[in-house]
Amino acid sequence: MRVFVTRQLTDGAASAMGDLPASVEVFEGGGAPDRSELLEGARGAAALLTMVTDEVDEAVLDAAGDDLRIVANHAVGVDNIDLAAAAERGVVVTHTPGVLDEAVADLTFGLVLATSRRIGEADRMVRSGTPWVWGPRVLIGLDLSAGATLGIVGLGRIGMAVARRARAFGMRILATGSRASSAEARDLGVEPADLGALLDASDVVSLHCPLTDSTRHLIGAAELRRMRPGAILINTARGRVVDEAALVAALGDGTIAAAGLDVFEHEPQVHPGLLKLDNVVLAPHIGSAGEATRDRMGQLAIDNIAAVLTGKDPLTPVSA
Ligand code: GLV
């Protein structure tokens, strides 16, 4: 049996690969395998350990063939995998929920602070040698603790971790999603809202929904117009949840004040309009990039593979 791992894992996770009941081939190229390298690596594999950037479609599943038992995604999101095609072929799909919530919430709040207090602009101003002197009106931003409202779109495990941070900052918290009416959410002071009401009332809107057919371009021109003129959009979910061209326009004409983005519609390409704007903070999809978190993600993916290859139930299957 052979396991194909599409990227070098962190050291903490890589050491666990020795326990797998199979030979392990790790993609050795510098970055991600291209299409033909992915198809070639998948050939005859019993397990694939994949990343968000690997498009696991029918062709990849068929390249692996009848030996393939599991696709273990090194991510909580599984929009890169054709789940129906995997199910048709009896292939188990797993992901890494739970182990990355705090890391993604930290990065989310980093972007909330960077945009609300204009840290990117401040850094560029100082770094460029622009003359400056302390002044009451210099780089004025939004006070989170002065009654600002955070709107969490898609309150799940990660959204809940973001809500805990927002509560510590004294923010009012609105959220969409069935979990917004749970006792856990109520205890955190979360108020359930539909998307329209949330957009109307929030100073900061943070996206935490998975990418599905119903969330693709959930935030487009109309939704951006519905946000407050001083509002900030944060996206650490998936780029395609936002219509990026509409966002560029909204940031450029003052429809909204700023955005903090860890994900992009055509990743790793970034809309050229975003690169020209000063009121955007950009990160290269590093939401879960804490060392311990990445160790846990890799370990969980490996544990799922070990379970399935030894005839046990996967630990964290993707529910169909
Ligand atoms: C990262 O984007 C993930 O889905 O874990």
pLDDT of 319 reads 78
- Which pairing describes strands 149-153 and 172-175: parallel, antiparallel, or unpaired? parallel
Q: Give the pLDDT mean for 262-286.
A: 98
Ligand 1 centroid–CA 155 distance in Å is 16
The token pair that represents 68 in the structure block: 């393939």
| CA neighbor of 294 nearest in space, from 100, 53, 106, 98 | 100
**What confidence tier does 280 reach under pLDDT thresholds 50, 70, 90?**
very high
Mean pLDDT, all residues of the chain: 97
Ligand 1 centroid–CA 237 distance in Å is 7
| CB 224, CB 247: distance < 8 Å | yes
Catalytic residue (one of 69, 208, 238, 296): 238
pLDDT of 320 reads 61
Residue pLDDT, tens place only, 193-239? 999 999 999 999 999 999 999 999 999 999 999 999 999 999 999 99
Whole-angstrom distance, CA of residue 230 vs CA of residue 116: 10
Tell me the best of 50, 74, 76 to mutate to test the pocket of ligand 1, counting ligand atoms within 8 Å of each CB and taking the most.
76
Q: How far is CA 86 from the centre of its chain?
A: 23
Residue pLDDT, tens place only, 115-136? 999 999 999 999 999 999 999 9
**What confidence tier does 29 reach under pLDDT thresholds 50, 70, 90?**
confident
Query: Does 158 sit in the ligand 1 pocket, CB within 6 Å?
Result: no
Q: Which of 28-37, 40-49, 223-232, 254-263 has the lowest mean pLDDT?
A: 28-37
Check if 127 is active-site: no
Q: How far is CA 15 from CA 31, 200, 235, 302, in A?
A: 20, 49, 33, 10
Ligand 1 centroid–CA 241 distance in Å is 14
* Phi, psi (degrees; rounded to nearest 5) at 236: -120, 20
Q: Give the pLDDT mean for 102-117.
A: 98
